Amino acid sequence: MPNKPSTPNRAVRIDDETWEQLGDAAAAAGTDRSAVLRELARWWLRRPGAKMPPRPGRQDS
């Protein structure tokens, strides 16, 4: 039986560089882009108990 996610797939427009950096930072934090975006949306909407997802360390160039 194929994987049946509990949430529907959504499309967002994000430039390639930002998308790649988000994936790298999420992986370094032990999570994935989807989880970070869901947490951020819940926090931004002020859902009860929602917390801002942890940010990655700075990477100064």
Residue pLDDT, tens place only, 3-59:
777 888 899 999 999 999 999 999 999 999 999 999 999 999 999 999 998 888 766
- 2, pLDDT greater than 70: no
State both tokens at 35: 């989880």
Q: What are the helix (H) ranges across the chain?
A: 16-28, 33-44
Task: Return the pLDDT at 54.
Answer: 84
The tally of CA atoms less than 13 A away on the side-chain side of residue 11 is 0
Q: What is the value of pTM for the model shown?
A: 0.79
State both tokens at 11: 């499309």
**Helix, strand and coil percent figures for the chain, each rounded to 5:** 40, 0, 60
Task: Return the pLDDT at 60.
Answer: 56
3-state secondary structure of 25: helix
